Amino acid sequence: MEKVIEIKNLTKVFKNGRGITDINLDIHRGEIFGFLGPNGSGKTTTMKIMTGLMKPDSGDVKILGHSVLEDFEKAMEKVGCIIETAESYPYLTAYENLKQFSRYYKNVDDDRINEVLELTGIIKYKNEKPRKFSLGMKQRLGIAAAILSKPEVIILDEPLNGLDVEGMLDMRNLIKSLAERENTTFFISSHLIHDVELTCTHIGILYNGKLLNVDTTRNILNNYASLENYFVSEVETNGKV
Ligand SMILES: Nc1ncnc2c1ncn2[C@@H]1O[C@H](COP(=O)(O)OP(=O)(O)OP(=O)(O)O)[C@@H](O)[C@H]1O
């Protein structure tokens, strides 16, 4: 199976001693990888390094075979991402925002803009400005921007944050259908156990800056009945500092 994301010996320790240590992880094409960890476990730090927003102390990340440290532009060429919050221009409409983002790409026309507005459930709000949007609506617009150029890899930091039940269901279905229909690979961070269980095909548990274990959701549910049981067991067995 083709490796799409390779994280090797990744370490970043802040002056206060927190951060991530020696993360190793391979993610293959079409997987929906859930990076599950409590607040402060190091998810955002890892994702910032993956997307070039932060430099590691040591180690490297390769995306589609290109190192983010040595060949950043190539590594990011087919990646869509939202790290921390989805930013948009508050005084442009949803459509105008996407039109603005489309200028970064060669292959995005008006049909594609309308298609992503439809896919993310915000076509009705096409001509409204995001300064009036709820957090959930802003998140949808962020995801619309992230998938605009049909990226092969999508990196999302807490994508279900701020969404209501309907929004979560829509987003989950969108992620699954992109993975199935277009073989898009997802790297999704979350601290919401239930959501990760329902959305992801593979799960890695991050705890105190260390990756405790990685397995398929199917294996975890077969062996532990629920992701919560697995999480507790992993933290008890491998999470002691
Ligand atoms: N720039 C920084 N300087 C010092 N410490 C930091 C910095 N950034 C993050 N940390 C610390 O490193 C640890 C990991 O933070 P990180 O934001 O990666 O966690 P997270 O898993 O994304 O948590 P959350 O879900 O709360 O966003 C935390 O203890 C945090 O306080």
What b-and-e string marks burial along 110-125, b requiring 16 or more CB atoms within 10 Å of the CB?
Answer: eebbebbbebbbbeeb
Distance in angstroms (rounded) separating the CA atoms of residues 215 and 193: 14
Query: Please, which pLDDT band fits residue 26 given cuts at 50, 70 and 90?
Result: very high
Whether residue 105 is predicted with pLDDT greater than 90 in this model: the reply is no
Question: Hey, whose CA ends up nearest to atom 14 of ligand 1?
Answer: 42
The CATH-assigned architecture of domain 3-78+152-238 is: 3-Layer(aba) Sandwich (3.40)
Ligand 1, CB cutoff 6 Å, lining residues: 14, 16, 18-19, 37, 39-45, 191
Q: How far is the CA of 53 from the centre of ligand 1 (A)?
A: 14
Please give the pLDDT value at position 241: 56
- Ligand 1 atom nearest to 157, measured from its CA: 22
pLDDT digits (tens, 9 = 90+) for 6-23: 999 999 999 999 999 999
The pTM (predicted TM-score) of the whole model is 0.90
Contact 129, 90 (CB under 8 A): yes
Please give the pLDDT value at position 34: 97
Domain limits, the chain: 3-78+152-238, 85-151
* Average model confidence (pLDDT) across the chain: 91
Residue with tokens 């442009």: 92
Question: Hey, whose CA ends up nearest to atom 4 of ligand 1?
Answer: 14
- Ligand 1 atom nearest to 45, measured from its CA: 18
Of 20, 44, 208, the residue with max ligand 1 atoms within 8 A of its CB, to mutate for a pocket test, comes to 44
